[in-house]
Amino acid sequence: EGAGSGFIIDTDGHILTNYHVIEGAQRIDVTLNDSVVLTAKVVGSDARNDIALLWVDPSAEQLIPVQLGESTNLLVGQRAIAIGNPFGQFDRTLTTGVISALNRTIQGQDGRTITGIIQTDASINRGNSGGPLLDSSGRVIGINSAIFSPTGVNAGVGFAVPIDTVKRLLPDLLQLGYYRHPWLGVRYAYTVDSWLAEALDLPVDKGVLLVQFLRNSPLEASGALGAQQEVIVQNQQVYSGGDIITAIDGKAVASWDEIDTLLENNYQVGDTVKVTIWRDSQPMELDVQLAEEPN
């Protein structure tokens, strides 16, 4: 048994909350602000971004949706308002504060990072998860998702998933029940640093050296090459001879995490990206159509 918060986004009965609020639940009850309790169904979810979309029968009660704002142009210092159900027993609690920082990174429910996170000092505690973070006009700018606290209670550092991230996920959650994450299809790769560049005599000292692709990989289909041989460097087995990715659509990348974040935040399945690689000491570009990451 657990408790969290959420908010109605349309008159069709859709409600947004955090994935970790409903994870593993066999039954979900939603209590509205007039104490009416409705049974909810999970329409879609995305563990990586900690988002879940619920549905309740709209004919059972008059549903008043919130207005979704934008998170792209937020500024540190502007007003932030959190509404939620702290500790599962103080429903309809409103707290105020400011946006303390932008573009923070937290760990998602699948162990991978969520970027672009909003940090606020508005009081957020257990049970606030899934509730809205609002601007001074009452528009939703984020979903309250986590806190940083040595004691487990509010210490003035709360985190919210930006609403623009949620908007990007919503069409897939509504239609498919899950979000299609864009995918290049790499099984294994090295982050190129000065040591690796010197050891393998690479033409660049930053980038991602491709080693092995997954089956039906978009990169492999575009003509990219993985490792061609094994060498021993300082008693270590190292794979070499693969292409080195240095940029995507002209944006420099220096690690696989940077590639993953760039694709996740800026592209969708079906988009074609121009991948800059180095092969045999020469730069070249590959057009790669992003596929859906397999589960």
pLDDT in tens, 232-267: 887 788 899 999 999 999 999 999 989 999 999 899
Return the pLDDT at 152.
Answer: 61
Q: Is 281 exposed, middle or buried (0-12, 13-18, 19+ CB in 10 A)?
A: exposed
Question: What pLDDT shows up at residue 110?
Answer: 72
Model confidence, pTM: 0.86
What local confidence, expressed as pLDDT, does residue 62 receive? 84
How confident is the model at residue 108, as a pLDDT? 72
- Residue found under tokens 């001074």: 136
SS3 52: strand
Q: What does the pLDDT look like over 94-127, one tens digit per residue?
A: 999 999 999 998 877 777 778 889 999 988 887 8
Side chain identity at residue 282, one-letter code: Q
Q: Render 167-233 in DSSP notation, one character per residue.
A: HHHHHHHHHTSS---EE--EEEEEEE-HHHHHHHT-S-SSEEEEEEEPTT-HHHHTT-----EEEEE
Whole-Å CA distances, 10 to 4, 7, 58, 62, 75:
20, 9, 9, 11, 27
Could you give the residue numbers annotated as active site? 20, 50, 129
Q: What pLDDT sits at residue 153?
A: 59
Instruction: Determine the pLDDT at residue 155.
Output: 61
| Amino acid 150: pLDDT | 57
**Which segments in the chain show pLDDT lower than 70?**
148-155
Count the alpha carbons within 13 Å of 93 in the hemisphere toward its beta carbon.
19
pLDDT at 11: 94
- With contact defined as beta carbons under 8 Å apart, do 237 and 199 qualify? no
